[in-house]
Amino acid sequence: MDLTRRDFIKLIGGGATGAVIFSACGVPDEELYFQSPNKLPEDQVTGIDNWYATLGSNGEGLAVRIMEGRAKKVEGNSDYPINTGAHSYSNEAELQMLYHPERLESPLVRDGNRGSGKWIEIGWNDAYQRINEQLNTLGHNKSRFVTKPLGGRSNSIISAFSDELGSKLLSYSPLDDSNLINALNIITGSDNIPKFDIGHSDMVLNFGMDFLNSSYSQAMFGREYGKFRASPRGNLYHIEPRLSLTATNSDEWIFCEMGTEGMIASAIAYVLISEKLVNSDFAKKINSKDLADFAPEKISKLTGIKSDKIVDLAHKLAKSKHPLIIGGDIASANTNGSSNMVAIYGLNLLLGNINKEGGLILNPDSPLSDLHSSKTISSYQEILSLIGDIDSGTTNSLFINQADINYSMSGNLNLKSSLSKLGLIVSMNSFVDDTSKYADIILPLNTQFESWGNDVPVIGPGYEVIGFQQPIVKSRFSNKGRQSGTKNAEEIIMELSDVMNFKNKYSGKTMKDVLMDDAKKIMSFNRGSIRANDLKTFWNGLLSRGGWWDMKSTVSKIKKTKLKQWPNINNPEFSSSNSTYHLVPFKTTVSDGSLAKTPWLQGLTDPLTTIAWETWVEINEQEARKLNIKEGDILDIDNGNGRKIKAAAYPNPATPPNFLGSSSRWREINWKIYIRVWCKYLFYYEYNV
- 486-500 residue pLDDT tens: 999 999 999 999 999
Domain-embedded: residue 221: yes
How, if at all, do strands 108-110 and 441-444 pair? antiparallel
For residues 632 and 602, which has the higher predicted lDDT (pLDDT)?
632
Q: Give bridge partners of residue 659 from the DSSP assignment.
A: 582
Q: Are residues 120 and 244 in the same domain?
A: no
Check residue 650 and report its DSSP letter: E
Residue 590, pLDDT above cutoff 70: no
* Residue 281 main-chain phi, psi, to 5 deg: -60, -40
Residue of 4, 12, 6, 9 lying closest to 686 (CA atoms): 12
Region 566-594: mean pLDDT is: 79
Q: Is residue 467 part of a domain?
A: yes
> Among 26-35, 80-89, 238-247, 460-469, whose mean pLDDT is lowest?
26-35
| 426-448 average pLDDT score | 95
15-19, 322-326, 439-443: segment of lowest average pLDDT:
15-19
For residue range 174-211, list pLDDT tens digits in order: 877 889 999 999 999 999 999 999 999 999 999 999 99
Does 578 have pLDDT greater than 80? no
Query: How confident is the model over 133-146, as a mean pLDDT?
Result: 93
Q: Is residue 443 part of a domain?
A: yes
CATH number at residue 454: 3.40.50.740
Please tell me whether residues 609 and 525 are part of one structural domain: no
How much is the pLDDT for 577?
Answer: 59
The residues, ordered by sequence, that sit 6+ positions from 279 with a Cβ below 8 Å of its Cβ are none
* Residue 388 and residue 345 share a domain: no
Q: Is the dihedral of CA 57, 62, 67, 73 positive or negative?
A: negative
Range of the domain at 650: 582-673
Buried b (16+ CB within 10 A) or exposed e, 161-187: bbebbebebbbbbbebbbbbbbbbbbb
Of 331, 361, 391, which residue is a domain's last? 361
Contact, 349 vs 187, CB < 8 A? yes
Share of the chain above pLDDT 70, in %: 88
pLDDT value of residue 579 = 72
**Residue 665: is its pLDDT beyond 60?**
no
pTM for the structure as a whole:
0.87
In a domain, 344, yes or no: yes
The span from the CA of 256 to the CA of 241, in Å, is 5
Same domain assignment for residues 307 and 386: no
Q: What is the pLDDT of residue 512?
A: 95
The verdict on 401 and 454 lying in the same domain is yes
Q: What's the rounded mean pLDDT across residues 638-663? A: 85
Query: Does 377 share its domain with 234?
Result: no
Under 8 Å between Cβ of 686 and 18: yes
pLDDT at 319 over 90: yes
Query: Is 575 a member of any domain?
Result: no
What pLDDT shows up at residue 454? 95
Last residue of a domain, one of 530, 550, 570: 550
Helix runs in 546-609, H state only: 599-602
Does one domain contain both 330 and 345?
yes
Helix (H, G, I), strand (E, B) or coil at 655: coil
pLDDT at 664: 65
Tell me whether residue 569 is in a domain.
no
Are both 432 and 531 inside the same structural domain? Answer: yes
* 320 shares its domain with 188: yes
Predicted pLDDT of residue 606: 86
**Same structural domain, 272 and 350:** yes
Q: Phi first, then psi: give them for residue 95, nearest 5 degrees.
A: -65, -45
pLDDT of residue 228: 96
Backbone dihedral region for residue 376 (phi beyond 0: left; psi -120 to 50: alpha; all else: beta): beta
Query: Could you say which of 361, 394, 427 is where a domain stops?
Result: 361
Sheet containing 397-401: give its strands across: 119-121, 108-110, 441-444, 424-429, 397-401, 143-147, 170-171
Nearest to 429 by CA among 402, 449, 450: 402
Counted domains in the chain: 3
What is the distance between the alpha carbons of residues 352 and 344, in angstroms, rounded to a whole number? 14
pLDDT at 379: 84
- Tens digit of pLDDT for each residue in 522-542? 999 999 999 999 999 999 999
Do 465 and 596 lie in one domain? The reply is no
In this model, does residue 23 exceed pLDDT 50? no
Q: Is residue 324 situated within a structural domain? A: yes
Residue 23 located in a structural domain: no
Average pLDDT over residues 214-233: 89
Do 161 and 254 share a domain, yes or no? no
The single-letter code of the amino acid at 196 is F
Q: How confident is the model at residue 408 (pLDDT cuts 50, 70, 90)?
A: confident
Residue 128's DSSP bridge partners are none
